[in-house]
Chains A and B, each alone.
Chain A
């Protein structure tokens, strides 16, 4: 029996939580999200660590392999994500002022940027497939050994990152846009927007490191 379902809440009011006052509930939720972001950082950190050690040992090969990644495309995607992060932060500002329409617009903007990012990434992946540098390609194993390490890590890192972009887009829509389009947020309650934006900023943060590491080797 969930304790939350039986309480009516007017728009702009925080939801009823049976064991905390609304201020504590907000702080707890935000703290919880930061803890979750810490786990995500460590998740990606494993791949950063693997990449770091192989890059240090096989710099020559990694440099050659990295030439296959287009710097202009990577830079464009970086700009797209940075801009989307700005949109998300602006959406939070709007939510705090109760400007639900602004929230809806800006969150859609953020989601759109995410979509652009994914489309560009898909093109890059398609290009790698054409060059037999994609791990699922039947001829991938014919590549030189440390080429495989580079591209294996490239696809794991950018792939898991892309998965987080998709999750972020969903979260911003499900917990953000769907509610703001019903006028849910106010200066008293904007938690889902803030937490969703935090998650999105993490996605941007990861890419800030991924881009130079993968695209600008050597």
Chain B
């Protein structure tokens, strides 16, 4: 990477720097436990990175409205897809007897504990 190249594309290089910095931020935040907020922060940072790549590396900034429209349609459609699934799966009501449901929940909890213990017991990478 010679200075010759930096001269020709300083702004791209700058964007790369920002992207790498944001990557460090993402990884760093992952080690901090914020509960449900972790995924929101991670996705938010990822979206900023994606936007930077799209706008500056892919020159979406300089494209016409039609291209920008079709570039954003998938995002809208994915939102609809995920929305449609998320008003279904998490909102389903289990029709079985409450004792059965609690029993299964306990079983699931135990299996998770078992898994965690087993993972911990194995040699660390």
Contacts from A to B (Cβ < 8 Å): 30-31, 34-35, 37-38, 41-42, 45-46, 48-49, 52-53, 55-57, 60-61, 64, 67-68, 70-71, 75, 78-79, 82-83, 85-86, 88-90, 93-94, 97, 102, 106, 144, 147, 197-198, 201, 204-205, 208-209, 211-213, 215-218
Contact = CB atoms under 8 A, between A and B. Distances in A.
Contacts of A204: 53, 57
Nearest to A78: B23
Contact of B9 (A75, A93, A209): A93
Contacts, number: 135
Contacts of A82: 16, 19-20, 23
Contact of B67 (A34, A42, A61): A34
Contacts of A71: 27, 30
B20 A144 contact: no
Given A75-B23, A82-B16, A82-B20, A61 B115 contact: yes
Given A38-B73, A64-B115, A216-B27, A52 B82 contact: yes
Given A61-B112, A79-B20, A216-B30, A93 B12 contact: yes
Q: Interface on chain B toward A: helix, strand, loop, or mixed SS?
A: helix
Given A61-B115, A71-B30, A201 B78 contact: no
B93 interface: no
Interface size bucket, B side? 35 or more
A52 B8 CA distance: 41
Contacts of B15: 86
Contacts of A213: 42
A161 to B, nearest CB: 14
B50 interface: yes
B50 A208 contact: yes
Contacts of B30: 71, 212, 215-216
10 contacts: A30-B67, A31-B70, A38-B70, A38-B73, A49-B78, A61-B112, A82-B19, A85-B57, A201-B53, A212-B46
